[in-house]
Amino acid sequence: MSIVTRFAPSPTGRLHVGNVRTALINWLLARRNDGRFLLRLDDTDRERSSDAHVAAIRDDLAWLGLHPDGEVRQSARTALYDAAFKRLVDAGRIYPAYETPDELGLKRKVQASRGLPPVYDRAALDLTDADRAAFEAEGRRPHWRFRLDTDAAISWHDLVRGSAHIDPAAQSDPVVRRADGSYLYMLPSTVDDIDMGITHVVRGEDHVTNSGVQLQLFAALGAAPPAFAHLPLLADADGGKLSKRLESFDMGTLRDLDVEPQTVAALLARIGTSRPVEPVASVDALIDGFDFGNFGRAQARVDAEDFTALNAKVTHLLPYDAVAARLPSGMDAEAWTAIRPNLTRVSDAEDWWAMIAGDVESMVLPQDRDFINEAGGLLAELDWSDDIWRRWTTQLKVRTGRKGKALFMPLRGALTGRDNGPEMAALLPLIGRERAIHRLTG
């Protein structure tokens, strides 16, 4: 069987780490099995969905390297939903109900006062044709509910949770279509999963109950159900709901921090699993060994700082070709390799590059002035080659008797204007003879 997965965001806001993780796991499952990964835009909520959000979702996925093999938009597929809706109405599985929100609220209050769960009482199933006609004459339009089969528990083998059960009798018959004719999430999602040939539905555990309902919808529509995998939700560092702090975790914020896509993917692929979070230079490196067997059931905690910390390690792995377009002009592969170990993010290369090629204010303590003058004089006499730092400092040591910190720190200060940074042996050839002599003697 060829695996087909889908990522189904609602384009009502920027992607955040929670739904990016869902996208990533769907992508990994598909890629690991030479399957297909599809993007489905759940834009049935016309008010809250926007083209700008659709564009941002596509762009964020491309940035992450999670390229979909196809895309559908629910807003363009109403005819499919209408057909399925009609079939289920004809089969008696979807029925009209006329209660107003106030009437439903009142029913729930009465149930609560009797200690009963707020499950819809199915009063609409008892309406006669005359009752319905009377409501319609009043100007009421029905909303539509899917009649759950409450005879037996709904069970499935969840790829993350193991054996899963939902008691349909504890659920209200879900409303699948509003009085204005628009569809809620439940039916279109099932119709699409069937039509798109989805073999695995991978999503957050907040959808477990929906999966139970949707298993009945698959059956009612005569389709074999997909496999399900429900990922434990992510929590913030204090164990709180991520949804309360989404602004720190949306893709706009992470991208503005210049966090690499590999960082986002490396963290989100492994968090909550038994495998360690490891830096990778390419998102593809995460495909190998992907397995639902490694996922735990506990909530996984994530901190905005986890991304910045891992980002340094990822940056240290990035080859020049992968970053060249983002580096300051003139900065070549040699300079990148020298500077890379000091970076926590690629954009900081600019600052270090200025230290090599820009105007540097030398830092020389009064007590080191003579030493630096002597060092400058010696440097001017030496043949310039790649091992210049070693040859120069070896001779300076002999001449001045300085060693260790007393030898190296003043040289770094004079040449770079800083007291720390990349290896001087790599920096000096990049600074070059002319600039170096000028910084020492100027």
Please report, as ranges, the residues that interact with ligand GLU according to CB under 6 A: 8-10, 42, 189, 203, 207
* Residue 192 C-beta: closest distance to ligand GLU, Å: 9
Q: Which residue number, 147 or 203, has a Cβ lying nearer to ligand GLU?
A: 203
Provide the 10 A C-beta neighbour count for residue 377.
Answer: 12
Q: Which residue number, 41 or 323, has a Cβ lying nearer to ligand GLU?
A: 41
Q: Which residue number, 10 or 400, has a Cβ lying nearer to ligand GLU?
A: 10
Q: Select from 243, 150, 158 the least CA-distant residue to 207.
A: 158
* Residue 189 C-beta: closest distance to ligand GLU, Å: 5
Distances (CA, A) of 409 to 64, 239, 255, 368: 41, 45, 36, 10
* Residue 210 C-beta: closest distance to ligand GLU, Å: 7
Position of minimal CB gap to ligand GLU:
42
* Residue 121 C-beta: closest distance to ligand GLU, Å: 28
Q: Which residue number, 171 or 189, has a Cβ lying nearer to ligand GLU?
A: 189
b (16+ CB within 10 A) / e for 298-315: eebbbebebbbebbbbbb
Angle at 34 between CA 322 and CA 192, to 5 degrees: 105
* Residue 39 C-beta: closest distance to ligand GLU, Å: 11
Q: Which residue number, 232 or 421, has a Cβ lying nearer to ligand GLU?
A: 232
348 touches 419 (CB < 8 A): no
Q: For residues 128 and 136, what is the distance between their CA atoms, to the nearest angstrom? A: 12
Residue 401: what residue type?
G
* Residue 343 C-beta: closest distance to ligand GLU, Å: 35
276: which 2 tokens? 């360690």
155 touches 127 (CB < 8 A): no
* Residue 204 C-beta: closest distance to ligand GLU, Å: 7
Q: Which residue number, 68 or 96, has a Cβ lying nearer to ligand GLU?
A: 68
* Residue 152 C-beta: closest distance to ligand GLU, Å: 24
Q: Which residue number, 187 or 414, has a Cβ lying nearer to ligand GLU?
A: 187
* Residue 18 C-beta: closest distance to ligand GLU, Å: 10
Q: Which residue number, 214 or 315, has a Cβ lying nearer to ligand GLU?
A: 214
Q: Which residue number, 189 or 311, has a Cβ lying nearer to ligand GLU?
A: 189
* Residue 424 C-beta: closest distance to ligand GLU, Å: 52
Bridging pattern class, strands 94-97 and 143-146: antiparallel
Distances (CA, A) of 231 to 303, 396, 398: 18, 62, 64
268 touches 317 (CB < 8 A): no
Q: Which residue number, 177 or 203, has a Cβ lying nearer to ligand GLU?
A: 203
